Each structure stands twice: as C-alpha cells, then as structure tokens.
Amino acid sequence: MPATLPAVRRPRMPMEHLPHLVFLVAVAGTLVRLVQLNDELCWSVAPPTAALALLYAAGAARWERLGSRGRPVWLGLLLLLWTWIAWAVPAPLAFGYAWLAVPFAVLALRMPTRAVRGVALGVVTALLVAVLVRVGGGPDPDVLAPPLAAVLATAVLYRTQQRLARELAETRGELARRQREAGRLAERARIARDLHDTLAQELAGSRMLLQAAERDWDRRPDAARRQLRAVTDALGEHLAQTRGIIDDLTPPVLARDGLEAALHELTARAGAAAGAPRISFSAENPPVDPPLEQAVALLRVTQNLLANACEHARATHVHVTLRHGDEATAAVEVRDDGVGFDPTVVRSAAPSTCPGRGFGLTGVRDRLEALGGTLTIDSAPGHGTRVRAALPTSDRVSDRVLVGTR
C-alpha cells in the first residue's frame, strides 16, 4: 500500500445543501397534493409552482454569475411568485408553502450588503406571517410558532457557521504562514551550514595563507608567490561554490524558463553522468507553473529522488513525470525499475548523503509538509519504486458556507 502523508483538506459544510433540500421537499410535497386533488384551481397553480422550482434552481446554479445586483432581483422574483402561489392555493395547502420561508431566509442572509440582507429577511418574515395568518384564519400561535422558530433558528445557525468558517479560514491561513516560515527557517539553516562548511572555513584558510605570504614576502619570495597562487586557486573554487549556493536558492533555468524546462535539464544532466541509468522525462496536462517557492521545492525534491534512484535503486531506467493537476496542484513522480524497498522503513530513515546535497526521504517529507504537500511512496523489494511528491499551487482558502454554489 502506498505510504501517503495526510494533507490539509477543505472540509465540506454539512449544512451546505440543507436549504435546497427543504425547498425541494416543500415544493414536491405540495405538487403531489395538487395532483391528487385534480381540480381546475390546482392545475392552474401547478405550472407556477414548477416555474418557482425552476427559477430557484437556475439562480442557485448561476449564483456567481448573478453578481451583487442580480441576486436581490432574483430573490425578489422568487418572493413575488411564492406570495402569489400561497394566496392562490387553498388555505390548507398554503401551510406547506409557508416552509419555503426557511430556504428564502438563507438566501436573504447571503445578499451582498447588510442593508439588503436586513430588508430581505424582514420581507421574508412578513410574508411568512401573512401566509400563516391566512392559513390559521387569524394570528394563531400554534400555526405561527413552528415556521417562525425555524426561520429564526436558520438565521442563527447560518450566522454561526459563517463565523466558524471565517475562523477556520483564518486558522488555515495562519497555519500556512507558519509552515512557510518554518520552511524558510529550515532553508536558512541549510544555507548557513553550507556557508560554514565551505566558504567560511576555506576563506579562513586563504587568510592564513595571505598572512604567511606577507611574512615571507621579503625573506622567502618564492614561498610567498606559491602561497599567493594557492590563494588565487582557492578563490576560484570559492567563487564556484558561491555560485552553486546561489543556484540552490533559485536555479537560473527555473527562474527563466519555468519548472518543466528545469526538470528537463535536470534529468538530462543526471542521465549523462557516468554509470547513470537511462533517465527520461515527460510532462502531462497544460503546463501552468506553480509559484516560485513551490517550483524550487519540487525541483530540489526531484533532484534528491533522482540521486536516491541512481545511487541505491540499481535501476536501468528511471522516468520522471511532471503533472499539473486539476485542483491547483503540481506533482512530480519518479518511477524506477530497481530493487525496491520497504516503505515502512522510510519514516525512520536517516537523511541521505546522496550527491547534489540530498537530504533523504525524511528531508523530502519535511520540506513538502512545510508547504502543505504530500509524499506518496509505492515500493516493494524486487518490484521497483514509485515516489510522488505533490504540492498545492495556491494558498487561497475558500470561505463559502451553506448554500454554496459553484
């Protein structure tokens, strides 16, 4: 079984479709009773009732396209049609239509401005009271209480869920920010180690050679010149190392040509090394480059996975695939035909010391987790290995609640 790290998923709202369900049950139940009565008045009311259902469904399906101006107009048309039908049908049937006030109250609370929301909710409540007074032949508390309580409870629950959704969005945003900050701190620590282990120590050695050359300049000029040549050679190596560290931060080909080109160059370079297996590359779906931070992470992860495959897998063929997902994700899959391994040992594996500054599968997992990504490992001894690294390419968090329409 693949070993997959959990990713943060947007929770589905349990009450998202409840208003639609209430509306459909009330309309369908009333239509059934109209057909059962089978008289002229009922057949004259049935088409407007069906039109009400179609208008409701059409507006819900095109909620985003209606915009801030179209939504109040749509709700007003629904309320006019609802009121006409509730007055046209016999009083016993009008009670069923009264329950349509519940989904209409939710729609009222989703209007664009606070003033429009207040007016719309007031109109819904007033129309509901009028219908209930007609049904009860007067202000009967037993008739008024249940629908009015349902509308009030719906409004309270909706506002509560809106607040919880906002808090969830803020919490997820803060979590994403802290994960990004943790990733940046880890990258800074890695760069600091690189600088300490290379440039700092070698510059200190060059300084000592220059000090020795200064002491020997007059008495031993040949030795001083040798020391100067050694410093010159060392400075050339320091420059190459500095450029390597800069490339680690943002590889030039990645910044210039995008992730696909950078992966293509990486696989070509890795495949050209002596003793390397045959390495191929392909990209699927239209290439939409992720943000630079995610692109760098995927490139470095692929570099490490290729190093692991070349050094440990004893593979004859390694294939790298870049996939641009449909849900704002980008993924790199590295598949080899090597000896395979047991994925259960990955979590306890020590960081790798592969070429290219590999930081092992443990480091891969940590780097992906810091950006909200996942690592999937599918392998078995003697059956090759497939490793998939996926990252979200957007930090946006949806805050749609209740009656959310796409």
Please enumerate in sequence order all residues whose Cβ is within 8 A of that of 299, keeping only pairs 6 or more positions apart, or say none.
Answer: 251, 254, 259, 262, 263, 266
Residue 329 φ then ψ, to 5°? -130, 155
- Return the pLDDT at 249: 65
For the segment 5-20, the average pLDDT, to the nearest whole number, is 49
**What's the 3-state SS for 232-276?**
HHHHHHHHHHHHHHHHHHCCHHHHHHCHHHHHHHHHHHHHCCCCC
Which two three-digit tokens encode residue 340? 């395979």
Report helix angle 91-98 to 63-88, nearest 10: 160
Q: Where is pLDDT greater, at 140 or 405?
A: 140
Highest mean pLDDT among 113-117, 291-295, 399-403: 113-117
For the segment 36-42, the average pLDDT, to the nearest whole number, is 70
- Percent of the chain scored above 70 by pLDDT? 80
Spatial separation of the C-alpha atoms in residues 33 and 23, rounded to whole Å = 16
- Return the pLDDT at 16: 57
- Among candidate residues 46, 33, 47, the one with its CA nearest the CA of residue 93: 33
Report yes or no: 404 and 13 within 8 Å, Cβ to Cβ.
yes
Q: Where is pLDDT greater, at 274 or 333?
A: 333
Burial bucket for residue 66 (CB in 10 Å: 0-12, 13-18, 19+): middle
- Ordered by start, the domain boundaries in the chain are 18-139, 184-249, 254-392
**Amino acid code (one letter) for 392:** P
- Return the pLDDT at 399: 35
Range in 7-11, 37-41, 73-77, 300-304 the model is least confident about = 7-11
Cβ neighbours of 59 (radius 10 Å): 20
Range in 94-98, 262-266, 306-310 the model is least confident about = 94-98
CA dihedral 396, 402, 405, 406 (to 10 degrees): 30
Distance, CA of 262 to chain centre? 24
Statement: residue 124 has pLDDT above 70: yes
Q: Give pLDDT tens digits for 314-372.
A: 889 999 999 876 557 889 999 999 898 888 765 544 444 333 333 467 778 877 887 88
Cβ neighbours of 108 (radius 10 Å): 25
The architecture that CATH gives domain 254-392 is 2-Layer Sandwich (3.30)
Spatial separation of the C-alpha atoms in residues 64 and 104, rounded to whole Å = 17
- Return the pLDDT at 160: 84
Spatial separation of the C-alpha atoms in residues 273 and 37, rounded to whole Å = 84
What is the residue whose two structure tokens read 């690592």?
Answer: 375
- Return the pLDDT at 309: 86
- Among candidate residues 272, 344, 263, 346, the one with its CA nearest the CA of residue 308: 346
Spatial separation of the C-alpha atoms in residues 405 and 395, rounded to whole Å = 21
For the segment 241-265, the average pLDDT, to the nearest whole number, is 76
Spatial separation of the C-alpha atoms in residues 157 and 377, rounded to whole Å = 43
Q: Where is pLDDT greater, at 228 or 97?
A: 228
Q: Give pLDDT tens digits for 145-169.
A: 877 887 888 778 878 878 888 888 8
- The CA distances from residue 29 to 22, 42, 95, 140, 145, in Å, are 11, 13, 11, 24, 21
- Among candidate residues 109, 128, 129, the one with its CA nearest the CA of residue 119: 109
For the segment 119-147, the average pLDDT, to the nearest whole number, is 81
Statement: residue 247 has pLDDT above 70: no
- Return the pLDDT at 397: 34
Going 223 to 224 to 226 to 227, the CA torsion angle's sign is positive
Q: What is the pTM of this model?
A: 0.43
Range in 53-57, 245-249, 372-376 the model is least confident about = 245-249
Which two three-digit tokens encode residue 82? 């609802």
Spatial separation of the C-alpha atoms in residues 277 and 313, rounded to whole Å = 10
Phi-psi region of 235 (alpha: psi -120 to 50; beta: other; left: phi over 0): alpha
Report yes or no: 228 and 213 within 8 Å, Cβ to Cβ.
yes
- Percent of the chain scored above 90 by pLDDT? 6
Tell me which fold the domain 184-249 belongs to: 1.20.5
Spatial separation of the C-alpha atoms in residues 242 and 37, rounded to whole Å = 87
Confidence of residue 198 (pLDDT cuts 50, 70, 90): low
For the segment 16-42, the average pLDDT, to the nearest whole number, is 70
Statement: residue 14 has pLDDT above 90: no
Q: Where is pLDDT greater, at 8 or 296?
A: 296
Q: Where is pLDDT greater, at 263 or 349?
A: 263
Asked, colleague to colleague, whether 184-249 and 254-392 share their fold, the answer is no
Spatial separation of the C-alpha atoms in residues 23 and 49, rounded to whole Å = 12
For the segment 259-265, the average pLDDT, to the nearest whole number, is 88
Statement: residue 400 has pLDDT above 60: no
Q: What is the largest CA-CA distance in the chain?
A: 124
